[in-house]
Amino acid sequence: MNIKFWGTRGSIAVPGKNTIKYGGNTPCVQLTSNSGETLIIDAGTGIKALGDNLISLNPSKLNLLITHSHWDHIQGLPFFKPFYNEHYEVNIYASTNNGLDVNEIITRQLASAFFPVTEDIFKSKINIKKVPAKDNFNLGDFSIYTIAAHHSKGTLSFKIKVDGKTIVYMTDNEIFYSYSKHPEIISIKEKNKELVDFVKDCDYLIHDCMYDVRNYADKIGWGHSNNYSAALFAISANVKNLVLFHYNPDYEDSELDKIINDTNSLIASHNSNIKCIPATENKVIDL
């Protein structure tokens, strides 16, 4: 199986010469099983290029998981080409968010004040399914488990089991710790118990890394993690590979290089074997 990153940036797309290495598009990740089935997670601006690619390959049925309806996770939906093709069936799985159901969220996104055409323009079959936290369901080769993230109400993280591997997609998640101090494992284990249990021993953890730990003090409670808390959380849960993801749109490539180096140094100082891999746009990880 493999994981492909079509969008890695948090909050807003920031294409340009200073974001070429890590990417400018907002979140969209594709998992492909050994038998060739596709699972899409999140519909940020990265889903535009993924949709173009899928149309060229011509699969007929697609499954899309959405963590939550903040703009950076749904911005690309109206530009997803399979919606405009009658041969496609797209199943969208998402939780209700602050009382709005997914149907309503998409209809509002396509309101005339924001978009020139209404949903009637879509030709594919679109099925929307509400998914709560602590749910478990199967989609072909993929077994999916959900948990509530430490973010806005209704935000989900997903654990996916496929081809004998376990991948956790946990972005827009704030790892809690004792804020009077630097993040440390004992405090992280204590304050994120359910999440640590959820990701325990997974092969790949794709996790929110919105902030450099040095810029985090005035962002506490904003629903995102820093590079140190994400790394110590991964160590606490004994994950094998940590993929840093959902970068602050203000960070240029050179700053992210430094964040990745610092994170690797922290992991080494804990004598951990975790491999820390930065998500970069168009990167493919073969498992």
Which positions lie near Zn ion, rule CB under 5 A?
10, 70, 72, 172
Tell me how far, at minimum, the Cβ of 151 lies from Zn ion, in Å: 5
70 vs 207, beta carbon nearer Zn ion: 70
Tell me how far, at minimum, the Cβ of 10 lies from Zn ion, in Å: 5
12 vs 139, beta carbon nearer Zn ion: 12
Tell me how far, at minimum, the Cβ of 117 lies from Zn ion, in Å: 26
Tell me how far, at minimum, the Cβ of 271 lies from Zn ion, in Å: 32
4 vs 70, beta carbon nearer Zn ion: 70
Tell me how far, at minimum, the Cβ of 100 lies from Zn ion, in Å: 14
DSSP lists the bridge partners of residue 167 as: 160, 204
154 vs 183, beta carbon nearer Zn ion: 154
Choose among 258, 152, 279: nearest CA to 205.
279
Q: CB nearest Zn ion: which residue?
A: 70
46 vs 274, beta carbon nearer Zn ion: 46
Strand pairing report for 2-7 and 284-286: antiparallel
Tell me how far, at minimum, the Cβ of 287 lies from Zn ion, in Å: 25
162 vs 209, beta carbon nearer Zn ion: 209
10 vs 23, beta carbon nearer Zn ion: 10
Tell me how far, at minimum, the Cβ of 67 lies from Zn ion, in Å: 8
The 3-class SS string of the chain reads CEEEEEECECCCCCCCCCCCCCCCCCCEEEEECCCCCEEEECCCCCHHHHHHHHHHHCCCEEEEEECCCCHHHHCCHHHCHHHHCCCCEEEEEECCECCECHHHHHHHHCCCCCCCCCHHHCCCEEEEEECCCCCEEEECCEEEEEEECCCCCCCEEEEEEECCEEEEEECCCCCCCCCCCCCCHHHHHHHCHHHHHHHCCCCEEEEECCECHHHCHHHCCCCCCEHHHHHHHHHHCCCCEEEEECECCCCCHHHHHHHHHHHHHHHHHCCCCCEEEECCCCCEEEC
